[in-house]
Amino acid sequence: MKLFSKEQIYMADKLTIERQNISSTDLMERAGSQVFNWIHMRLQGAQVPIHVFCGIGNNGGDGLVIARQLILDGYNVKTYVVNCSDKRSKDFLINYDRIKNVTKKWPTLLSCDDDFPVINAEDVIVDAIFGIGLNRPVDPWIKNLFKYFRNTKAFVLSVDIPSGLSTENIPVDEDSVVWATYTLSFVTPKLVFFLPETAKYTVHWEVLNIGLDEDFLMNTTTEVDLIGKNEVLPLYIPREQFSHKGQFGHSLIIGGCYGKIGAVTLASKASLSAGAGLVSAYVPKCGYIPIQTAFPEAMVITDTDDEIITKIDFKITPSVVSFGVGVGTDTKTINAFEDFLKQNKTPLVIDADGINILAKKKSLLQLLPLNTVLTPHPKELERLIGDWKDDFDKLKKVKAFSKKHKLIIVIKGAHTITVFQDKLYVNTTGNPGMATAGSGDVLTGIITGLISQGYSPLNATIFAVYLHGKSGDFAVEKYGYQSLNASHIINYLGDAFIDLFRLPEPPQEEEIEEAEATKKD
């Protein structure tokens, strides 16, 4: 799914109005009606008090449409205008008149702390105060209103985006944003729903289609893509009936040191389970017996040293090499890596201490093949690119780093983001049970296994991050957040592949009968 920017959304609005020959007021009516339908489907006329808070721009205009439609349907509605400025938008004013025509209970104007109404925990708050047009910090009394919403513990439904949340800046403080229970976002989810510093402002979100110009939506490329099943399915390379293991490449996993051989075992197993034809592990001598025992499918090549990697020398011709899991940062290992890079032409995936080595010795970055994949967790990323001010600054710095060194960088965490030059791919699978030792080693193995069988480094990375999260989602159903461990993610990789081709559940008998009955009405 594409994540459109604020500018693109305004452009889509404008083009829709021109091409569909409708007014902006009509478009606002559509948007507001969609939110009304969503509420009506759930409340079915229940007389829960609904407090609709409207700003003075178009987000507020949406709020007035929602309030009017709720009133016309007999709901128990109170409407408020958060009167923060005299510059009311044209469509706000039109809908302000329209609501006055359907009720004697005109919207209450709020302009200071003393005006706040009584709201109970069982009530519903509709937050239509600020949308994507937020352009400055909110006034102190509006911050107090937002805090007041939180204290009421009522269900908060935000329209388009939680008010006070900007699409391009991190809020100055947590009180200057509405904490939404649910956000109904028009056309596109917003990037801030996925960033570590801002995702908390909405527990759930959903996109409402308001019929914007299809041509524009289809043909406009975005800087950010949200990656789900629909996005990875076209990447999948099918297997032919007469295929043989020679066609799926040979992964070489270089890593490990005394006490950290398990990392190589996990990455190697994951690589084979992701479909590599052959897997070899390159480890210090102490790794020989553990890997051969724990993972008989792998071949093992050993360093001359017992405990660390001191020289990378092999006779095989791998299709892809992964370097770094559990490898340590001993000077001899750094030198071995440098010597290897100087003659290597094979695609590379670098993780863990491999990244720490690059951070220590930045000159090695110049030796990396084009489109090498780096998979840092937040601490490794900081060592590599330095500190950042906030999540937006982090993304800016990673993009610049990716462009400068021609690398694919995976910012791991909840909603892992794959960065390739200026483009961001935001993953949707995964869960907190995956915050566990070795989980990253498994991801490295999956990326390596996909490159091995012919996926481009970028497609392999996007696909692997999705599959890794999906396996984790299957695993958590069995093991729960606490007991899930990295090996379980490998065990469920097959289910993640099979799930790609699973059709949605057919509707149940009763649902079909209900649909038939609605048609007759």
Ligand X SMILES: Nc1ncnc2c1ncn2[C@@H]1O[C@H](COP(=O)(O)OP(=O)(O)O)[C@@H](O)[C@H]1O
Binding residues for AMP: 412-416, 440
Contacts of 469 (CB under 8 A, 6+ apart): 416, 427, 428, 429, 430, 431, 434
Query: Which residue, 91 or 380, is less far from ligand NAX as judged by CB?
Result: 91
Out of 32, 262, 440, 457, the only residue in the binding site for ligand X (CB under 6 A) is 440
Query: Which residue, 169 or 292, is less far from ligand NAX as judged by CB?
Result: 169
From the annotation, which residues make up the binding site for K(+)? 59, 127, 163
> Does 126 contact ligand NAX by CB under 6 A?
no
> Does 228 contact ligand X by CB under 6 A?
no
Contacts of 324 (CB under 8 A, 6+ apart): 254, 255, 350, 351, 352, 353, 354, 355, 357, 444
> Does 438 contact ligand X by CB under 6 A?
yes
Which one of 6-14, 288-296, 371-379, 385-393 is the stretch in contact with ligand NAX (CB under 6 A)? 6-14
Q: Record the tokens describing residue 242, joined without a space.
A: 């007469």
Bridge partner list, 2: 225
From the annotation, which residues make up the binding site? 58-62, 127, 131-137, 160, 163, 263, 326, 377, 412-416, 440-441
Nearest approach in angstroms of CB 67 to ligand X is: 37
Give phi and psi for 300, each to the nearest 5. -125, 130
Draw the binding track, 147-186, toward ligand NAX (x: CB under 6 A; -: no contact).
Answer: ------------xx-------------------------x
Q: From the list ligand X, ligand NAX, K ion, none, pick the one residue 270 interacts with, judged by a Cβ distance below 5 to 8 Å according to partner type.
A: none
Give phi and psi for 85, each to the nearest 5. -165, 160
Opening angle at CA 408, ends 187 and 329, nearest 5: 135
Contacts of 168 (CB under 8 A, 6+ apart): 6, 392
Query: Which residue, 394 or 412, is less far from ligand X as judged by CB?
Result: 412
Contact 338, 460 (CB under 8 A): no
> Does 133 contact ligand NAX by CB under 6 A?
yes
Query: Which residue, 278 or 451, is less far from ligand X as judged by CB?
Result: 451
Out of 20, 23, 37, 85, the only residue in the binding site for ligand NAX (CB under 6 A) is 85
Count of residues that interact with ligand NAX, criterion CB under 6 A: 34
Separation CA 392–CA 165 (nearest Å): 13
The two counts, helices (H) then strands (E), for the chain are 18, 18
DSSP class of 422: T
Query: Which residue, 64 or 409, is less far from ligand NAX as judged by CB?
Result: 64
**What b/e string do you get for 309-326 counting C-beta neighbours within 10 Å, with b at 16 or more?**
bbebeeeeebbbbbbbbb
Out of 8, 39, 51, 57, the only residue in the binding site for ligand NAX (CB under 6 A) is 57
Contact 68, 102 (CB under 8 A): yes
Nearest approach in angstroms of CB 143 to ligand X is: 29
Residues that bind K ion (CB under 5 A): 127, 158-159, 163
> Does 34 contact ligand NAX by CB under 6 A?
no
> Does 132 contact ligand NAX by CB under 6 A?
yes
Q: From the list K ion, ligand NAX, ligand X, none, pick the one residue 57 interacts with, judged by a Cβ distance below 5 to 8 Å according to partner type.
A: ligand NAX
> Does 187 contact ligand NAX by CB under 6 A?
yes
Q: From the list ligand NAX, K ion, ligand X, none, pick the one residue 459 interacts with, judged by a Cβ distance below 5 to 8 Å according to partner type.
A: none
Draw the binding track, 204-223, toward ligand NAX (x: CB under 6 A; -: no contact).
Answer: ------x-x-----------
> Does 324 contact ligand X by CB under 6 A?
no
HEC per residue, 99-146: HHHHCCCCCEEECCHHHCCCCCCCCEEEEECCCCCCCCCCCHHHHHHH
Max distance between CA atoms of the chain, in angstroms, equals 88
Element (H, E) at 202: strand 202-208
> Does 328 contact ligand X by CB under 6 A?
no
Which one of 136-144, 218-226, 304-312, 350-358 is the stretch in contact with ligand NAX (CB under 6 A)? 136-144
Separation CA 167–CA 464 (nearest Å): 28
User: What number of other Cβ atoms are within 10 A of residue 297's Cβ?
Assistant: 10
Query: Which residue, 224 or 348, is less far from ligand NAX as judged by CB?
Result: 224
Residue type for position 307: E
From the annotation, which residues make up the binding site for (6S)-NADPHX? 58-62, 131-137, 160, 263, 326, 377, 441
Query: Which residue, 13 or 127, is less far from K ion as judged by CB?
Result: 127
Separation CA 146–CA 229 (nearest Å): 36
Interface ranges with ligand X (CB under 6 A): 352, 377, 412-414, 416, 430-432, 434-435, 437-441, 443, 468
Binding site for ligand NAX (CB under 6 A): 9, 12-13, 27-28, 31, 55-62, 84-85, 87, 89, 130-139, 159-160, 186-187, 210, 212
